[in-house]
Amino acid sequence: MGRTISLGFAMTAPRNAALKLAGTETDSPERRREILGDHVARNPGMPLDLDLVLAQRVNRSAVERRAATLPGRRTVKKQWQAAWLLRAVSLIDLTTLSGDDTAGNVRRLCAKAMHPIRPDLERTLGVEQLHITTGAVCVYHQLVPVAVEALAGSSIPVAAVSTGFPAGLSPMATRISEVKASVAEGAREIDIVITRGHVLTGNWHALYDEVRAFRDASGDAHMKAILGTGDLATLTNVARASMVAMMAGADFIKTSTGKEGVNATLPISLVMVRMIREYFEQTGFAIGYKPAGGIRSAKNSLEYLYLMKEELGDRWLRPDLFRFGASGLLTDIERQLEHFATGRYAAAHRQPMV
C-alpha cells in the first residue's frame, strides 16, 4: 500500500494512487497576467478613481447563473478530494469570536491550529512530514497576547478583529487606536470592518479615507477589509466597495463578520473575486480574498476552491492570497479525510476543536 498525496511537496500515504494537491497545476496559457515567483508584492493602494468605481455594475441574474454552475462544473473524488481538502486546511483562519471566549479556549484553539489533523489520521494518510497548519488564528484584541504566546515558535500568524467589530460604529479615533494596540501586542494580521453606511449612501471618498487610515495604522501587519456584504443591499455595492477598499490599500477583502444575516455566498464571492481580477489587471498587485461566515462543510469549501482556481488561477490557492474565515469547517474536513482513509465516517467528537 503506497499512496502519494502532494501539497506541492512529496507525501506518502497508505494506498496505491498518485495524489496531487490543489494548487500545484499549471495555469491555463490564456491567462493575461501572472504573478511571477512565490513573492507577492504588497498592495500600496492608489488614488481614488471614481470613474473606475462607478463603472462597476453587476448583472445579478448573470452572476447567480454563473455561481450555480460551480458545484457541477468540477468535482473531485477519492485521493484527489483528499488532496484538495488538505489544501483547504492550510487556508483556514481558525476563529473564535464568542462572548464567552477565555484564555484557555484560545490556547486550545492555537494547539489545534498547529496540529489541525489528528496525528493518527496524519499517519494513516502519510502526510505527517508536511507539518500542515492552518493559515492563522483569529481572535478578539483582548486575547491577542494569549494567542501570540501560544503560537510562539510556529509560523502561524495571529489575526485580530478590530475597528469596532462587528458593527464598525465606534468613534474613528477609538477604531484606529484599537488597530495600533493589536499590532503592538503582536497581531500580524488585522481584520477591520468598514462603515457600511458609507457604501449605502455612495460616500466613496469617506470609505476610501477610512480604509486608508486603517491601513496606515496597521503598519507592517497585513490588513483584511471586512465589507459586511450582507448589509450592502446590492451586488453593485459589493463590487464598488471591493474596488474602493483595494484602492485604499487593503491586502485582503473579506465578505463578512459572520454576524450578519447573510454571510459568504458564491454569488457575492464571484463578484468580489472578479473585482480582485480587475484590480490585478489594472495595477499588477494581487489582493487576497477571505470568505467568512457560514462555511461549515467540506463540500462547500471545495466550491470556493473551484471558484478561486477558475477565476484567478492556482496562485490564489495559497494562504497569502486566500483564507477561509471559519470555526466549524475543520471538523467536517477531518471527518471527510477519515472517511477517505478508513471508509467510515467518525463522530464529530473525534475531532475536538477546543
Separation of alpha carbons 164 and 172, rounded Å = 9
Let me know if 254 is a catalytic residue: yes
Q: What would the grid cell of residue 110 be?
A: 492555537
Instruction: Give the torsion sign (CA, 270, 272, 273, 279).
Output: positive
Separation of alpha carbons 251 and 239, rounded Å = 16
Q: Of residues 20, 93, 112, 191, which has the active-site annotation?
A: 191
Separation of alpha carbons 306 and 62, rounded Å = 18
Let me know if 299 is a catalytic residue: no
> Are 242 and 277 spatial neighbours (Cβ–Cβ below 8 Å)?
no
Let me know if 191 is a catalytic residue: yes
Separation of alpha carbons 98 and 235, rounded Å = 29
Q: Of residues 20, 112, 224, 290, which has the active-site annotation?
A: 290
Strands 252-254 and 288-290: parallel
Consecutive H or E run containing 334: helix 329-342
Grid look-up 480587475 returns 278
Phi/psi of residue 325, nearest 5 degrees = -90, 105
Give DSSP secondary structure letters for 139-194: EEGGGHHHHHHHTTTS-PPEEEE-SSTTTT-S-HHHHHHHHHHHHHTT-SEEEEE-
Q: Of residues 20, 112, 224, 254, which has the active-site annotation?
A: 254
Residue positions annotated with a catalytic role: 191, 254, 290
